[in-house]
Structures are given as structure tokens and as C-alpha cells.
Amino acid sequence: MKQAFFVLVVVALAANPALAKPKEKTYPASCDQVWAAVKTATEPPHYNFAQLDDAQQKGTISTGNTMSGKRYLDITLSGAGSTCTVAIGGNFSGLAHNDKGDLFKRIEQALAETPSESAAKSKESVSLDVTKESQARSEQQVKGKAEIQESAAEVGAIVINSVPDGADVYVDGGFVGDASTTLKLAPGKHAIRVAFKGYKDWNRELSVLPSSDVKLTARLDKQD
């Protein structure tokens, strides 16, 4: 009879919220990271419901029912920087149920599956570096195309025909093709020579202007 009375007293004491002391654990992570793990750990079907306050990082969780009513846990986070303390209070932990220990275990599992802030920052940094490198390459490509276009715009176009047709065309002493031909020449002075077998050479010095478009017809005289 005394033993039964003692058990009832212990159960009554454990069931009293005022006498159920919170358990605390400190984790090497920010409270934002731990709170994310808490939200993951308290998702159904493990708990009936969870009323969580994101702003204050605390809440109430229903863990089940007993003959004396529902079992509840109160959870509160505190800390700063890279450490966070989780305090869990509630009934029945340590007797028929280990609700607090079970919730701590679920939080730790969720925390282990959550990437660390340093890893997330490292990933973000790598992604940012790749983006910057891609932007730099794109800018270089655009710049290169602009330079090519600018260079193309600066040259002058010289169309050279010959009579008779098909004469050899030389620019600054180098053979460039047979007439009729179109020459793309940089601005400045250039020596043009048109030659055909049995005919006298046709020579001209041209001053080419940027973006100029000139047509020339070299009329060759027969040799004596």
C-alpha cells in the first residue's frame, strides 16, 4: 500500500508543470540554424502539433496523450554568434516517457542534416566567384566584338577593276589578288600596282580614309 502511494506521489509530482524542470543543451551553431532544425524535428507525424514563434524562437509542442491529459513540451532558444542553447520543459520526461530526450535527439538529427553556415557561405562564395568569372568573360567577349567592329569600321574599302580584266593587283609591294577585287585597307597611304603581261604597269599612291569606299579602274597601256 505504501509503495503504491509513493508511486502515485511521484507520478503526480512529475505531471506537475511547475515541478518539471527544463533540460538544456548547447549546440555549436547559430540559433537561426538550430531553430530551422527545431522546425524540421517537430514536423508531423512525430508530434500532434507545434505552435512555434519564429520571431522569439520559442514554442509549444504536443507529444501525445496520457490518462491525465495531453503531454506538452515548451522549447526556448537563447544564445548569440556560433552557439545556441535549447531549453525544453514539460511533463513526464524521465518516467513513462522521455519526451525531452526524444526531442533533443530529433533536433540533433535535423541539425546534422542541415549544411553548416560556413559551408553555405563557402558554397555561396564559390557560386559568386563563378558568376563573376562568367560576367568577366561575357564582358571580354562583348569588348572583343566591339573592338573588331570598331576596327572594321575604321578600314577603307577599295574596289579595283582593270582593263584588260584579270590583271594582278599589288598593295605595298605584296600580291593581293586579280582584278576585279575589293581591298580592305587601314587608313593611311598605300602604294597600288596593277600589272598584266604585255602591258605597262599601272601605279597609284592612295590615301585611305576611315570607312571610305572608293572604286578605281586601272586602264593599262600595251607595251611598245
Adjacent-strand bridge partners of 206: 190
Residues in the chain: 224
DSSP 17: G
pLDDT at 78: 94
pTM check: above 0.85: no
Q: What is the distance between the alpha carbons of residues 53 and 34, in angstroms, rounded to a whole number?
A: 14
pLDDT at 167: 92
Residues of 23-45 as b/e, b for ≥16 C-beta within 10 angstroms? beeebebbbebbbbbbeebbeee
pLDDT at 164: 93
pLDDT at 217: 93
Q: What is the distance between the alpha carbons of residues 115 and 193, in angstroms, rounded to a whole number?
A: 74
Ranges of beta strands (E only) in 94-197 are: 156-163, 168-171, 174-178, 181-185, 188-195
**Residues in the chain with pLDDT < 50?**
1-2, 4-19, 68, 93-94, 118
The residue type at 174: G
List of domains in the chain:
2-118 (3.30.530.50), 153-219 (2.60.40)
pLDDT at 138: 75
Task: Enter the C-alpha cell of residue 220.
Answer: 593599262
pLDDT at 87: 93
The pLDDT tens digits of the residues spanning 124-143 come to 566 666 777 778 777 777 66
